[in-house]
Amino acid sequence: MAHTPQRRTPRRVVDGVLFLDKPLGLSSNNALQKARWLLKAAKGGHTGTLDPMATGLLPLTFGEATKFSQTLLDADKVYEATVLLGVTTTTADAEGEVLANAAVDATDADIEAALERLRGDIDQVPPMYSALKHHGKALYEYARAGIDIPREARRVTIHSLEFLAREGDSLKLRVACSKGTYVRTLASDLGALLGCGAHLTALRRTRIGPFELESSISLMDFEALPETDRDAELAPVDALLVHLEVMALDAMQATSFTHGQAVQVCSDAVGRMFRVYAGERFLGVGTLGEGGMMAPTRLVATGNQ
């Protein structure tokens, strides 16, 4: 029987940022691919992963915006976490196998005292079930094979750690933290300090840098939109760069800049990065060098703005 080739969905140029509220049970990459398919976008990326059991804010980039996906990797983040005391798991979250059960006799005052020890600059050992690499292979691959790799503690900053509510042995916390923080490790460390063990049962990211969950759209709502209305949900290509100062160029400077040449500008902020415009048109990101020379760091394709 002759094989009938499947018809692929035609892809198109789509440029912008989608602030997605990632659903439970979906990997960040699967969420990206679903959104990309809904937009028929030729190119897409995300700005740092959320575990499948986590929900919340996941900015997705498309087209020219993918050039700036890395900008949020260093940003501070805020999470709402649910932690169950008295149960320790292999992964420090609800996806792992139970290792131990223990009675919980911690009072609210005990919990608050333990949380205080976890605030500020702390050393955190990354979990084995993580995407960190060892000799080119993710740690979770070793963990699944029963191999434990020694990990060095890393310094992270817990800007705030709020005790929001308690229902039995289940705690609701709000965590504001620096990049590289593992909230499930925080849950495990809290359990260790209380002497009963603990693991993370739910996690929701509510903020990344200046971006709030309230500005996002769920995958279900995005899919329910008419196909012609989906592009309107995209923020512009420069949406992830609001933390950078603006540098405006005239037409002659813009021509040189977009051809990869440094241009003279009026600024003495040597070493600082700027988002660069010609009128309303976003050109890319530039870095200021000695003598007021602004050199292009990352340009967007002409005509995409």
Cα–Cα distance, 133 to 139 (Å, whole number) = 6
Q: Which residues are catalytic?
A: 51
Q: Angle CA(287)–CA(288)–CA(293) in degrees, nearest 5?
A: 120
Cα–Cα distance, 295 to 302 (Å, whole number) = 17
Helix axes 183-194, 108-117, angle to 10 degrees: 120
Measuring CA to CA, which residue among 192, 189, 165, 19 is closest to residue 80?
A: 165
Measuring CA to CA, which residue among 219, 303, 282 is closest to residue 68?
A: 282
Which strands sit side by side in the sheet containing 245-248, from one edge to the other?
A: 245-248, 273-278, 281-288, 293-299, 263-264
* Tokens found for residue 219: 């995958």
